């Protein structure tokens, strides 16, 4: 079982990396047999990996047609970003209201250090993954089960990854802003934390024509 799980995770990571790096473009069809042949594996772990990617909103299966890389429109980016902001601001409010211990909040430091390293080494896909991990960790700190489940159900972070990656990687102040968010949360300063979260998330929409 362990070997199968390891193989499945490896295939999942490879497919996700290929999609986020642009090797597969939005709208491209993903052929099970072709992927299995290239990776020299059976169809089963490939199917499992693509199912996981569909749950994350990165691919979409159309009955009797096949599985395709999700096509993201400008309107999708705008609407999902708006939802993401609302959910993360709620998480910040809850963290401060519940006075979550600074020791727990400080666990965000490790993620942010890994993000800085990935950015310094120009590892775009890893940078995206660490930014996603950082923001999801904030939601988990809210200790609100329904909020956490809601974030898991919406492909918010993957919308960011598919269309906002180049913006995120170019943000030279992202690590500094994350550090300031951590400090605000540790001080249970909800107003400042929410202001910083807005400043951190909203630049993704700067490449979007809001009239579209």
Set out the domains of the chain in order of their start, with CATH numbers: 2-69 (1.10.10.10), 74-207 (1.20.120.530)
**% of the chain surpassing 90 pLDDT:** 47
pLDDT at 118: 87
pLDDT digits (tens, 9 = 90+) for 105-119: 999 999 999 999 988
| Per-residue pLDDT band at 169 (split at 50, 70, 90) | very low
With a cut of 90, say whether residue 73 has pLDDT above it. Answer: no
With a cut of 50, say whether residue 209 has pLDDT above it. Answer: no
Q: ∠ at Cα 167 (166, 170), nearest 5°?
A: 85
Q: To the nearest whole number, what is the mean pLDDT of the chain?
A: 83
Q: What is the mean pLDDT of residues 172-176?
A: 83
Q: What is the mean pLDDT of residues 186-210?
A: 81
User: Look-up: residue for tokens 């601001």?
Assistant: 89
pLDDT at 75: 80
Strand locations in 44-135 (E): 59-62, 66-69
* Nearest residue to 47 (alpha-carbon basis) of 7, 2, 17: 7
| Per-residue pLDDT band at 1 (split at 50, 70, 90) | very low
């Amino acid at each position: 079982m362990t070997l199968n799980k390891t193989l499945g995770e490896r295939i999942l990571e490879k497919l996700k990396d290929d999609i986020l790096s642009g090797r597969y473009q939005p709208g491209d069809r993903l052929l099970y047999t072709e992927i299995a042949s290239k990776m020299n594996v059976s169809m089963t772990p490939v199917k499992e990996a693509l199912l996981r990617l569909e749950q994350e909103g990165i691919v979409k299966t159309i009955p009797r047609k096949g599985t395709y890389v999700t096509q993201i429109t400008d309107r999708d980016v705008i609407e999902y970003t708006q939802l993401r902001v609302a959910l993360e601001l709620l998480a910040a409010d809850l963290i401060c209201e519940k006075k979550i211990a600074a020791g727990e909040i400080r666990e965000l430091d490790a993620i942010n250090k890994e993000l800085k390293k990935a950015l310094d080494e120009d590892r775009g896909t890893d940078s995206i993954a660490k930014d996603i991990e950082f923001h999801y960790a904030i939601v988990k700190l809210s200790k609100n089960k329904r909020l956490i489940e809601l974030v898991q159900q919406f492909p918010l972070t993957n919308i960011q990854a598919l269309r906002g990656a180049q913006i995120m990687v170019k943000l030279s102040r992202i690590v500094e802003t994350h550090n300031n968010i951590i400090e605000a949360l540790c001080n249970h300063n909800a107003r400042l934390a929410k202001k910083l979260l807005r400043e951190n998330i909203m630049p993704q929409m700067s490449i979007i024509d809001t009239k579209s």
